[in-house]
Chain A
Amino acid sequence: METFGATQGSGPTGPASVRTVLSEADISRVLTRIAHEIIEANKGTRDLVLLGIPSRGFPLAQRLAERIARAEPGTDPAAITGQLDITMYRDDLRHSTTRTPAPTRLPAGGIDGKVVVLVDDVLYSGRTIRAALDALSDLGRPRIVRLAVLVDRGHRELPIRADHVGKNLPTAASEKVRVRVGEIDSENGVPVNDVVIVGQP
C-alpha cells in the first residue's frame, strides 16, 4: 500500500514516511456504512439534516446524503444537506494569520427541531467541533446533534466524541493526516482520487 508517493505526489516527504490508510474504494465503502448507520440511528430520514464543515466536510456530507437517498427512496439529498462554516467561532483566530470564512448554507427547512449530523473529514483535538456546536446554537435549536467523521485520529483536547466513525486511526501527534477528495483537491488541474494518507510532515 506504500505506493502513494510515486503516483499521487506526496509533497516534500518521501514515499517511505507516507502510507495510505484509506483508498478510494475504502472511502466509498466507509461512507456507505456511515450512511446506513445514520439511517439506523435516526430510524429513517425524518427531520434529518447533514451539515458539512468546510472545506472537505461538505462534499462528504453530500456523498452521505446521496447514499442515504439511495437507501431510503423519497429523500431529496439536496434538501437535507448544508454547509456550516466555523471560521468565526474558532478559538485560535487571534493566534494565526487572517482566515477567510466560507459561506454557511442551511437547508430550506432550517435546523430548529431537526436531527443535525455534523460531517467532517478528520476528528483530532475536537476544537473544530466545539466551534461548530457554538455556531449551530446561533443558527437555531436542533433536537439532536450527532457527529460523523471519516477518520478519528485521537489526541482529543476537549470532551467530544464522534457518533459515526469511518476509521479509528492511531497516530502520533507529530504525524499529519491528509484527506483528499475529488470535489475539492486537484493536481495540475486534474481532480485527484479520494485518499486518506498519514505520514511525518
Chain B
Amino acid sequence: MRHLLSTADLAREDAIRILDIAEDMVAVGTREVKKLPALRGRTVVNLFFEDSTRTRISFEAAAKRLSADVINFSAKGSSVSKGESLKDTAQTLKAIGADGVVIRHGSSGAPARLAAAGWIDAPVVNAGDGTHEHPTQALLDAFTLRNHWSAVRGVASTGSDLAGMRVAIVGDILHSRVARSNLWLLRTLGAEVTMVAPPTLLPVGSGSWPCTISYDLDATLAGGIDAVMMLRIQGERQHASFFPSAREYSRRWGFDDARLAALDTQPGRETVILHPGPMNRGLEISSAAADSPRSTVLDQVSNGVAVRMAVLYLLLSADPQRPGAL
C-alpha cells in the first residue's frame, strides 16, 4: 500500500505498526531537539480544499518534525477559486516536485481519485474527504484509546490492540467521516462499537455496519462503556432539519453535566470522553465534560502529531521505486 486513503482496508498488523511507531514519535515530542532527519529533502504538500485548524497544523508539525519541507495550500485564495481543476492542481504539484500529498476535500473519493489517476506519482494521505473517511483521525483516536485501555488492563501498550473495549460513538453519524473511519479501525483492533444518534442522523445502510445501533444515550452508558466519542454537530453540512431544537438534542444526545455525574456512580469503569474537535460546547458536550479529567481532547491533539509522523514516515521515507510496507 502506497497511500493512506481509508481505514477500511488497513490490515490489523499495519494499524498496530503505525500505533507502535507513533509511540516512539511521542517520545520525540518530549525531547530537547524535537526533530528527526528521516524526511530531509522531501517536500510534503498540504492540499486543503476545506477549512481545518488542527488537522492542517498537525500534519504540518508532523512533517516538520521529520525535517520535510512543507507547502501549505488552501483552496481559498488559490487558483481553485478561478476554476482550476483537481487534475491541474495535482500536475502543478508534480511539477513543483512534491514527494507526498496530504489532501482534504469536500467530495468523498477525491483522495482516491488523486492516488489512482496518475496525475501525480506521490503517496497520498487522506486528511478527510466529504462524508467518507478521515483515517489519521481514527488512528489518533485508536492511539488515545489504546493508551487508556492498556493502562486499565495493566499491560504494555506496544503491540497491543483494543480487544474487549466497549466504545460508544455518539452524535452526527450521518455527516461524520470520523465515525466511519473509527468504526472500521476499532473493529479491526477488536473493540465493540455502539453508534448512538437520533434516527435522523444515521445514514441509510448503517444497519449493516458491524456495530450496535442505539437511539438512547443513557441506556447505552448504563450498559457499561469504556470510552465515549462525542461527534460534532456539523452545521455546515446539515441542509435540513434533523432534530427539533438544539436544546432537545443536547438533552437527549449531548454529554451534559448530569451524564458526567452518572459516570462517577459506575465504580470500576474508568470511562474516558473523546471529541475530535472542534467542539460545540453546550451542544454535543458540556464545558464541564470537555474540561473534566475524563476528557482526552488535548491528548488527542498531541497524539495526532505523533500518529501523523508515523504515517508520513512509513509512506515517504523509503525508496519511491520500492514502495513502503504500509
Contact = CB atoms under 8 A, between A and B. Distances in A.
Given A89-B37, A95-B319, A97-B318, A139 B24 contact: no
Contacts of B325: 97-98
B151 interface: no
B37 A88 contact: yes
Nearest to A105: B27
Interface residues of A, number: 20
A134 interface: yes
A103 B325 CA distance: 19
B35 interface: yes
Nearest to A87: B38
Interface string B151-172: 0000000100000000000000
B324 interface: yes
A101 B318 contact: no
Contact of A94 (B27, B35, B319): B319
Interface in A83-103: 85, 87-89, 93-103
Contact of A138 (B20, B31, B66, B313): B31
Contacts of A93: 38, 317-318
Contact of B24 (A97, A98, A101): A101
A101 B36 CA distance: 12
Contact of B317 (A94, A102, A134, A140): A94
Contact of A104 (B27, B32, B158): B27
Interface string A119-152: 0000000000000001000111000000000000
A88 B38 contact: yes
Contacts of B112: none
A139 B322 contact: no
Interface string B33-46: 10111100000000
B270 interface: no
Interface of A: 85, 87-89, 93-104, 134, 138-140
Interface of B: 17, 20-21, 23-24, 27, 31-33, 35-38, 66, 158, 313-314, 317-319, 322-326
9 closest cross-chain pairs (CB), A and B = A98-B324, A138-B33, A88-B36, A88-B38, A98-B318, A98-B325, A93-B317, A97-B322, A103-B24
10 contacts: A88-B38, A93-B318, A95-B319, A97-B318, A99-B317, A101-B24, A102-B24, A103-B24, A104-B24, A134-B37
